[in-house]
Amino acid sequence: MSSAGQHSATDAVDPRRHVPRTDAVLAEPRVAAATARLGRELVRAAVGAVQERVRRGEVPAEHEAVVAAVLAALPAVPAALRPVLNATGVLLHTNLGRAPLSDAARAAVGLAAGTCDVELDLATGARGPRGATTVDALLAAVPGAAAAHVVNNGAAALALVAAALAGGREVVVSRGELVEIGDGFRIPELLAAAGARLHEVGTTNRTSRADYAAAIGQETALILKVHPSNFVVSGFTRSVGVRELAGLGVPVVADIGSGLLAPHRLLPDEPDAAGTLAEGADVVTASGDKLLGGPQAGLLLGAPGTGAELVHAMRRHPLARALRVDKLTLAALEATLRGPVPPVRAALDADPRTLRARAERLAAALAEHGVDAAAVGSDAAVGGGGAPGVTLPSAAVSLPRHYAAALRAGDPAVLGRIERGRCLLDLRALGPAADADLASAVLACTS
């Protein structure tokens, strides 16, 4: 046989020799559209990866098959983050980014992503106060506050308090409130790093008003009251409320943690901003991405008089510039405050009977496709360092254990929890609109 004949025979046996060229795949209209959306380097890398799969025999060498494989491999956006359906029953799951934003907040972020009047007075054309409408929305949500400021998270709010109000001076705090806030970060170290000196009073389990009073001296800048939001101390305990501390002659700063702006019937022991100010706190600090249901942010709220003056001092401190939030956060926070009920609050207020009915419908639909699924009662939690020990009655779809790993690998990924050897998909943190996606994800694992 001639060499030409041998070459043809080899090609016929091994079609991988005909891998479509990179430029030909990139020029295909659908791939070109993806390039405009995602960037050339990302799409080119996907083409190279699919070409390698062709050489290994995993993808047919035909042009259309290669294009389809490239398109299937491309992400929705040029970022590594993946969407996850939170079926853990933990409303504020730190590993999943805590509070999911409302549709209104997402729309506001999209608007702010372009050029906007975040720091411009359109009437005069001159520079305007940054985030003024967000501050107005925060003050409207907490009528007892006379001043407000927003920084980039709850720890930043405490750091600004320490630096601006207590730099080089003492902060009086109960030993039972020197908490670790997560990932190894601790309140004492945070305050010290910001320049304050701690004056610890009381013991781990018991602190009295007299302990605070005895500690106050010329070097005292403020009393710090920290809500231990991620643990509970019970038994032989005693603590001092804000109302008792307010008459000791120095400013009282209360870190309520979870961002609850007003009382909630399911969380009677969780302090709220309005109530804490009413009890006499001069300044309240809180998180924006917990029970408020907004973006990651640290909120500083000042009571009329001294509290408002302290917030103004913090706003003008040099560190405030380093801790300020961007336009996207300001937009999302304002939309959360002014807009419809955010997902976290909807999940907190969900009716357990409605959750059970949803679980039963989902389980029945899955069972029709041969899935070993059942509706079961479940216990959900607030999470995110809020309302420790509070159980929220919920409902879940129970599946065989092996579904847990398969669901995490899906698109979108689904995160459930393992309980008594079964994979539970708790519905408390998911709105009804997610049920169809949840069912599709489970069925995709069975095919």
Domains of the chain plus CATH, in order, are: 3-73 (no CATH), 84-95+345-446 (3.90.1150.180), 103-340 (3.40.640.10)
Locate all alpha helices (DSSP H) within 167-317, ordered by sequence: 187-193, 209-215, 242-245, 273-278, 306-315
pLDDT of residue 389: 80
Strands, E assignment, 106-203 = 120-121, 126-127, 147-151, 170-174, 180-182, 185-186, 197-201
> Are 183 and 155 spatial neighbours (Cβ–Cβ below 8 Å)?
no
Read off the tokens for 54. Answer: 């062709």
Of 332, 171, 170, 318, which Cα lies nearest the Cα of 255? 171
Position 1 scores a pLDDT of: 47
Cis peptide leading into 78, omega within 30 of 0?
no
* 8, two tokens: 């043809």
What is the gyration radius of the CA atoms in the chain, in angstroms? 28
B/e letters for 401-416, b = 16+ CB within 10 Å, e = fewer, are eebbebbeebeeebbb
Query: pLDDT 10s digit of each residue in the chain, 447 long?
Result: 444 444 454 444 555 567 899 999 999 999 999 999 999 999 999 999 999 999 999 999 999 999 999 999 998 889 888 999 999 999 999 999 999 999 999 999 999 999 999 999 999 999 999 999 999 999 999 999 999 999 999 999 999 999 999 999 999 999 988 887 767 778 889 999 999 999 999 998 899 999 999 999 999 999 999 987 666 777 787 889 999 999 999 999 999 988 899 999 999 989 999 999 999 999 999 999 999 999 999 999 999 999 999 999 999 999 999 999 999 999 999 999 999 999 999 999 999 999 999 999 999 999 999 999 999 999 999 998 778 788 999 999 999 999 999 999 998 999 999 999 999 999 999 999 999 999 999 999 986
- Predicted structure pTM score: 0.89
The rounded distance, in Å, linking the Cα atoms of 294 and 343 is 9
Q: Is the dihedral of CA 398, 401, 406, 409 positive or negative?
A: positive
Sequence-ordered strand ranges (E) for 249-406? 252-257, 283-287, 298-302, 374-383, 392-400
Of 266, 264, 274, nearest to 242 by C-alpha is 274
User: How far is Cα 191 from Cα 417, in angstroms, rounded to an integer?
Assistant: 36
